[in-house]
Amino acid sequence: MEYSNRENINLIEKTKEHAELIAALIAGIFILLAWRLDTSGQTTASVLLYVIAFCVGGFAKAKEGIEETIEDKKLNVELLMVLAAIGSAAIGYWTEGAILIFIFAVSGALETYAMNKSHREISALMNLQPEEAWLVRGNFEPMKVSVSTLQIGDHLLIKPGERIPADGIIFKGQSSIDESAISGEPLPVLKSEGDEIFAGTVNLNGAITMEMTKANSETLFQKIIQLVQSAQSEKSPSQQFIEKFEGTYVKFVLLGVAIMMFLPHFVLGWDWTTTFYRAMVLLVVASPCALVASIMPATLAAISNGAKNGVLFKGGLHLEHLSVLRALAVDKTGTLTQGKPVVTDFIIREGIDRDMALAILAGIETQSNHPLAQAITTYAKSEGITVFPQATIEDIPGWGIKGTIHNNEYQVGKPEFVDAQRANDFANGAAAKLAAQGKTVIFIRDQNGIMALTALKDTVRNEAKKAVSLLKELGIQVVMLTGDNEKTAKVIAKEAGVTEHVAECLPETKVTEMKRLLSQYQFVGMVGDGINDAPALATATTGIAMGEGTDVALETADVVLMKNDLSKIAYAVRLSRKMQRIVKQNIVFSIGVITLLIASNFLQVVDLPLGVIGHEGSTILVILNGLRMLNKNV
């Protein structure tokens, strides 16, 4: 059977993990047999079994320690453990040395499991993307082809229960789609013609035909995998410090052991056996295994947790920064708001037929690509209005549109274009009241004056209000930055519940505001989705991009929300703070255990077996504590 690359990687990781555990168990069996022989007086046979236990249990770690020492040109904890075991055997403490090797092998297998657990999360993601798809061409029967052969524009059939093989839009049909692999949300989403769908998600019930819009290597799913893989290879500042500290610390331990092998004999009057024995105990208990394992397992587990819940971190550094976030700047359009205006009011002149007026307005606007024009056309269709298709238009940039229907001329646009005085007086000054509510007002005029007005507004996302509230509960101030006018910005800010707002922002203004916030709060995040947000995202302590945003925003940001759900930011902050708590617990615990064991060794109240159990037991505990980050409840 042939395996793909990702299957081979999985197999190698599992084999290594199982091999380390099996080696530890075999070593444990030999230790038990050797101990039984030793207690029955068969010393030579027991020593032989102990040597086998040393070789079986310690080979992997000894090899790893020697290779890393040669490659990095610095000492490491693996070498300390091997030296301690050999030293114990040298003074006749074979059982203690073998137990040290056994527990060290078990903790090594557990650490490998912790690392591989994070890698398997990515492998599981990769396995969600199908390798084959049903290609539809003309009236021919769908044929199964490799996903790697697909091209942009291809039509693909997705049957109920199948995973979607590529990013695209629904060309025909409708169905409920399970997007939990992308967004982390368990509830399926109803999708119909024209809606966007993503590779790796599941078509639950109806058969649909989709049109592929992105190359296989550019899908949202591939971006998730690439981002998380990159995050796993990037070490946090804390981890980098611990690794630098490890080499220096090991040198001090070896120096301390060297002194311990002689000084107590002359100063405290210990015999040579006791002196050497205590030096070996010091070599074991002073080793920083638990300290070294305090950060990486927790960090990798947190990154995996975020990936499963639709939050992608580009590295441990950004996880750490989120834990100390004090303020968050958010873009308005497409972030706090839907980014698409909707019609909220349609007011007509007395004596005018409402449906006719709306049909005329939509007939003119349907030929424009402006977002406001599209919103009006969508509104008319939702009202069941048949749009006039015969309109001819003339676009007046910056002002509005002139349209002609059945030889009747109409003007659509701002007040100054249709007659400012009449527009302001229309419907008892309705325009001013609507503008005060943050709405954009569009007028249509015929030969008899103002015919109707339409008010539109970019509505605040429901999840945005919830997200702002959650962030405030976490002690994070939320600041809205927008290029919109002050009146509209004030209304949106009040509706969303943000702490403060800054209106009429250009890209460079956003950067200036970010610098101001950084000087005030020190740790500031920025959320955006457009090209104009990229400079501010780069300036922030932590740049957060919406998953549906532009490629520039995605590449510039440090954290990506795969679904445009701001409440995930609060989840990410809680995740980060929990990780920091666990890391601090691990560090304090590991240093405390090392200090206690070293002091106990000098007082001769801890022997080598207990020292081994205390040292290696603390290492296992900090790894297990770090794996708590895989728990979804944060």
Cα–Cα distance, 171 to 177 (Å, whole number):
15
Cα–Cα distance, 611 to 614 (Å, whole number):
5
Cα–Cα distance, 525 to 331 (Å, whole number):
11
Angle value at C-alpha 399, between 395 and 400, nearest 5 degrees: 45
Residue type, 220: L
Pick the catalytic residue: 154, 167, 331, 458?
331
Residue with tokens 């800010």: 493
Query: Which class for 567: exposed (0-12), middle (13-18), buried (19 or more C-beta within 10 A)?
Result: buried
Which is nearest to 82 in space by CA: 273, 246, 248, 280? Answer: 280
Task: Dump the DSSP string for 537-603.
Answer: HHHSSEEEEETTS-HHHHHH-SEEESSS-THHHHHHHHHHHHHHHHHHHHHHHHHHHHHHHHHHHHT
Q: Is 419 a catalytic residue?
A: no
Residues paired with 395 in a beta bridge: 401
Residue with tokens 């501010």: 536
Residue 208, SS3 per DSSP: strand
Adjacency order of strands within the sheet including 392-396: 342-348, 449-457, 440-446, 408-413, 400-405, 392-396
Which residues have CB under 8 Å from 46's CB, separation 6+? Answer: 34, 35, 37, 38, 94
Virtual torsion, Cα 430, 436, 439, 443, nearest 10 deg: 30
Phi, psi for 383 (deg, rounded to 5)? -85, 0
Residues serving a catalytic function are 331
